[in-house]
Amino acid sequence: MQRARFLAGWVLLLVAMVALAGCGSTTDSGGDGDGGGGGAAAGGLPKLAQKDNYTVCFPQTEENNPWRLAQTASIKEEVQKRGWKLVYTNAAGSAAKQVADVQSCIAQKVDVIWLPPREEKPLAVAVKSAKQAGIPVFLLDRNVDQSLAKAGEDYVAFIGSDFIEEGKRAADWLIKETGGKANIIQLLGTSGASPANDRRKGFEDAIKGQSGMKVLASQDGDFNRDKGRQVMETLLRAHPNVDAVYAHNDEMAIGAIAALKAAGRKPGQDVTVVSIDGERAALEAIVDGELGASVECNPRFGPKAAETTVAYAGGQTIAPKIINPDKFFDASNAKENIAAAY
């Protein structure tokens, strides 16, 4: 009896060892979707084969504002122009759905994933799953938590704007415009998203040395026009002495302008508003004198994403961070840029 138990124990141990060895080989070989190059490129990243047609996965975060619509349009246009195939999904504002959308792309064995991670932490896990499956990932516009996943190791590269610099540019403009004296309400972007974290840091670091610049309150408006309006309405009641608004995107700034007007305030006159993106409605608000300035965050990623993907497949070294050059819009140039805006 004892001998039988001893033997059964060994059999179980052997089964477990074989299973573990099997797991290891799956991870190492990479699941070459139908276009994966198989094996690993520099830094252990999955390779991408050189071919005429790629199947690209683009799991969008949400489609509830002009910036996102412009980004999706740019991706669709570029993929179509090149005759590639697009697997497009809309996570409708849910990080959990976006993670599931990435998993579905992995199951479909796409060649490459162009991912705008809605939030920094949950999407880092999805990035790692794609790497394990042998599918290269390029992060577009937003980043993941660098302590969980790194460019050049877990994903090929981040392509997008410098969000810290955007916050700093907004602060520099506001300091100049107000002579360094302002009582500010800050409308934050989606909690846990890299542009919200970085735009806050860039702005707050830049005003640190200015004793006259005070942030009265900061609250999440989820990069959304109506939420921005609601948050502004509430904060305005608590802080009637506000004379400046810094919104992490134009949509929230436009919502805040509506709330200010509804409360009998005069945006552009008794409250200075500055934001980020450079969408058409913001440029029009600048022309109308209600919005002071908007730091551009360019949403047209299609050409750069495709160009970088092809370069990667061709074996070129890809910089881990590819930063878009961004403009700045204020009363001096808003009008002439409206025609080209989204």
Q: What's the CA gap between 16 and 7, in Å, rounded? A: 14
Binding mask 184-223 for ligand AHR (x = CB under 6 A): -----------x---------------------------x
Which window, 61-69, 167-175, 266-274, 326-334, contacts ligand AHR (CB under 6 A)?
Answer: 61-69
Residue 54 interacting with ligand AHR (CB under 6 A): no
Residue 158 interacting with ligand AHR (CB under 6 A): no
The distance of closest approach from Cβ of residue 33 to ligand AHR in the complex, given in angstroms and rounded to an integer, is 27
Which of 36, 56, 57, 65 binds ligand AHR (CB under 6 A)? It is 65
Q: In terms of Cα–Cα distance, which of 168, 169, 170, 149 is closest to 158?
A: 149
The distance of closest approach from Cβ of residue 181 to ligand AHR in the complex, given in angstroms and rounded to an integer, is 27
Which of 47, 131, 142, 304 binds ligand AHR (CB under 6 A)? It is 142
Of the pair 204, 279, the CB lying nearest ligand AHR is at: 279
Cα separations in angstroms, 332 against 164, 217, 257, 289: 24, 30, 20, 11
Backbone angles phi, psi at 302, to 5 degrees: -50, -60
Site for ligand AHR in 274-303 (CB under 6 A): 276-277, 297
Of the pair 183, 194, the CB lying nearest ligand AHR is at: 194
Which window, 39-47, 63-71, 95-103, 260-268, contacts ligand AHR (CB under 6 A)?
Answer: 63-71
Residue-wise DSSP of 51-73:
-S--EEEEEES---SHHHHHHHH
The distance of closest approach from Cβ of residue 250 to ligand AHR in the complex, given in angstroms and rounded to an integer, is 7
Give strand ranges (E) for the chain: 36-40, 46-48, 55-60, 85-90, 112-115, 137-140, 157-160, 182-188, 213-220, 244-247, 272-277, 293-296, 321-323, 328-330
30 Cβ contact list (under 8 Å, min separation 6): 36, 38, 39, 40, 46, 47, 132, 133, 134, 135
Of the pair 91, 297, the CB lying nearest ligand AHR is at: 297
Which of 54, 58, 67, 158 binds ligand AHR (CB under 6 A)? It is 67
Q: What's the CA gap between 296 and 186, in Å, rounded? A: 18
The residues of the shown chain that bind ligand AHR, judged by CB under 6 A, are: 65, 67-68, 141-142, 195, 223, 249, 276-277, 297
